Amino acid sequence: MSSWKNNQEIEIFREYLRIPSVHPDIDYTPCVEFLKKQAIDLGLPIEVYHPAGPTKPVVVITWVGQRPELPTIVLNSHMDVVPVFPDKWTYPPFGADIDEEGRIFARGAQDMKCVGMQYLAAIRALRKDGVTLKRTIHVIFVPDEEIGGVEGMRVFIKSNEFKKLNVGFSLDEGIASPDETFPVYYAERSIWHVHFVFSGTAGHGSLLHKNTVGQKLHYVLNKLMEFRQHEVERLESDSALSIGDVTTINLTSINGGVQSNVVPPTLEAVFDMRLALNVEHDDYEKQLKKWCEEAGGGVEIIYEQKQPKVQATKIDSSNPFWLAFKKATTELGIKIKPLVFPGGTDSRYIRDVGVPAIGFSPMNHTPVLLHDHDEFLQADVYLKGIEFYKKIIPAVTNA
């Protein structure tokens, strides 16, 4: 019989997956009630904070260490999941069905209800074994990570409640790995969502007007696509680089125009840009402005999102938490691969207040299905992840 059949931890995980904490318009109340039940079962205190108002709870379950005065450890996860297209799923996306191979199908199976429950499962096992830890652990469940964490972690880190936690190190989500390695994320690129609003000569579509919005868009688009191609070539020519090491630029929408025979006075183009760690933000912004001037002027740059440069977490001997994490993974015999995260997680907010943070989801030999249809996690992979955390959590907590 497979190890996952009638397993208590698998049933707890599936119960959490069945809560449809899905965008848009999430009601987090069932998540909070579920987590209160978990805290009672663990015999641990739980606090629910509302830094962004009553509908955006932040849940903190605390295991007090032997030396509570020391900087604490955060084990972070988010309660929300991205939207689903049920007709594209083999099983109902909030059914947490498990097939003969032990694959658990549900939105959030990989991103990232698994990690939140693996933290609690590992703590349950450690407490049962009578283990005591040096530092205090705060297991945190936040809202709204999938829509940028604006009313989740971003607000929480500025609150007095967060400051009182005295955080010294944080673990958060990573991504599944299709091969044997485990990616470990120590930094993130800065996300810029940039709107270029072009103003130019309007008129009849049969004439050749000067300084039209089309000409200006063409110039700026060419410059950005040349830069994009440079990054494509850099990535392809150096096998040591991953997508997180280069700047990505993608045109995501063009808006404007009135009808097919009228040259419009304005046009807007929107780009998703992720700035690599080696990009100097001031220089990059000056370059964007210069291209707009060269295009003929009359181009306004509006930043929908413009994240500051956040220092990477040090992965060397200066960071005792990293050394403890690395030693634990070595002793577990697992291969880790330090990388820059290609997207955005709540770790960027934690790093921004000077707290070292590592992104790690213990899922290897697993197809990457976050935000995809038929998202699943193999039950045995889930259970193995709990074993990893039983080693990693004490290691970083006793650092």
The pLDDT value recorded for residue 1 is: 41
Give the C-alpha separation, 20 to 26, whole Å.
8
User: Which letter does DSSP use for residue 170 in this model?
Assistant: E
69 included as an active-site residue = no
pLDDT score, position 2:
64
Q: Where are the beta strands (DSSP E) in 133-181?
A: 137-142, 167-172
Question: Catalytic residue among 80, 144, 173, 375, which?
Answer: 80
The whole model's pTM is what? 0.93
Residue 194 CA to residue 192 CA, distance in Å, equals 6
Which domains, and CATH codes, for the chain? 8-173+361-397 (3.40.630.10), 190-306 (3.30.70.360)
Report the amino acid identity of residue 258. Answer: V
d(CA 77, CA 338) in angstroms, rounded, equals 20
Which of 228, 242, 219, 38 shows the shortest CA–CA distance to 121?
38
The pair of three-digit structure tokens given for residue 231, joined into one six-digit string: 């990054």
* Active site (annotated) includes residue 80: yes
pLDDT for 22 equals 98
Give dist(CA 142, CA 349) in Å, integer: 12
DSSP letters, 185-223, are EEEEPEEEEEEEEEE---EETTS--SS-HHHHHHHHHHH
Catalytic residue among 9, 145, 146, 245: 145
User: What tokens does 323 get?
Assistant: 């050394």
pLDDT of residue 242: 95
Encode the chain (399 residues) as per-residue pLDDT tens digits.
467 788 999 999 999 999 999 999 999 999 999 999 999 999 999 999 999 999 999 999 999 999 999 999 999 999 999 999 999 999 999 999 999 999 999 999 999 999 999 999 999 999 999 999 999 999 999 999 999 999 999 999 999 999 999 999 999 999 999 999 999 999 999 999 999 999 999 999 999 999 999 999 999 999 999 999 999 999 999 999 999 999 999 999 999 999 999 999 999 999 999 999 999 999 999 999 999 999 999 999 999 999 999 999 999 999 999 999 999 999 999 999 999 998 899 999 999 999 999 999 999 999 999 999 999 999 999 999 999 999 999 999 999
